[in-house]
Amino acid sequence: MFRIAQRLGCSLLVSAACLASVAHPAYAETDEIRIVKQYGLAFLPLMVMEKEKLYEKRAAELGITTKPVYMTLGNNTAVNEALISGNVNVVTNGPPGFLTVWSKTKGTPSEIKGIASLLSQSSWLNTRNPDVKTIKDFTEKDRIALSAVKISIPAIILQMAAAKEWGQSQYNKLDPLTVSLPHPDGMSALLSGKTEITAHFTSPPFQNVEAKSPGIHTVLTSEDVMGGPSTWSILFSTVKFKEENPKTMQAFVQALGDAQKLINEDKGKAADIYLSVSKEGGAKKEDIVALLSDPGTIYTMTPQKMMKYAEFLKTVGSLKVIPATWNEPFFEYVQNLPGD
């Protein structure tokens, strides 16, 4: 009898332990964190993180062995799809693309939230068409390259400019002229003069290389439309990945801060890193340092002009749900920063 009771007691203990493990699941941190970046200086913090192994240093401090895997995708739609499918873990996209996918996934098992801003910077609409002085001068013969039609930052800013010029109902007047191309390809097409592309709405350093080229001039800037600096790119992830890998995400945020600090304090080294991993023809170290020193280029975790984007997207029907405040779509990492 004693042995039976002893065995029964052991079984009960085992069962209790099993129930406890079900009630309070303990997730092991992931073996790797797959991070997507895109083209241009906006993504320099991720380039710095990779080159300087900043994530690895922070992960070691937290006692985890998670390894970062960096990859480059040039299409915003592909980036969002890769995140939702679980093929990648942290992605970058502009506020319009970020807000759109946040709105669509809110309250679902695939819900995403923002981690932090990568930077705020200017975006220029350049053209080789001498007859185009303002956006009113574009005709059906023109084609405007941008990273993704309808959802990228340049696409949305162009819509906002059109709404201001022709009225809210005409916000998409220029959409038929837009073409999706990665930034390097858009620059090559514009400068070659041998394609249908007559304009390119892009970011540093592509826009700066273009503006220095003969026959190219700037028609519009993001500051003209937004009324000041605005976030260019946001890092985000799924709520599921963050909750299952808290230390992995903590290490990532700390490494991001380290990278932004390096860029702000040592622009020469940051420029060397950028040029070592990027292949934009015509950009030299002094050019990159000058761009990093531009007051309009701000490497910060603080999101800017989020609500201005959200309100416009809601007005034109692109957002079913608008955030109550700028920080609603973000994780706790930036909640106390002075965003808008």
How far is it, in rounded angstroms, from Cα 123 to Cα 157? 9
User: Residue 72 — pLDDT band, cuts 50, 70, 90?
Assistant: confident
**Class of the CATH-defined domain 124-226:** alpha beta
Lowest mean pLDDT among 32-41, 177-186, 230-239: 32-41
| pLDDT at residue 20, rounded to an integer | 38
Q: H helices within the chain, ranges in order?
A: 2-23, 44-52, 54-61, 76-85, 95-105, 153-166, 183-192, 206-211, 222-226, 239-244, 246-265, 267-277, 285-293, 306-315
- 10: pLDDT strictly greater than 70: no
Distance (Å, rounded) from C-alpha 44 to C-alpha 41?
5
246-265 helix and 267-277 helix, angle to the nearest 10 degrees? 110
Burial of 109 (0-12, 13-18, 19+ CB in 10 A): exposed
Domain 32-121+230-334 identical in fold to domain 124-226: yes
Taking the domains of the chain in order of start, what are their residue ranges? 32-121+230-334, 124-226
Sign of CA dihedral 178, 179, 184, 188: negative
Least confident of 11-20, 180-189, 239-248: 11-20
Q: Tell me, what's the pLDDT at 7?
A: 40
98 within 8 A of 65, measured Cβ to Cβ: no
Q: What is the CATH number of domain 32-121+230-334?
A: 3.40.190.10
Q: What is the pLDDT of residues 193-226, one digit of tens each?
A: 999 999 999 988 889 899 999 999 999 999 999 9
Asked if residue 116 lies in contact with residue 333, where contact means CB atoms within 8 angstroms, the answer is yes
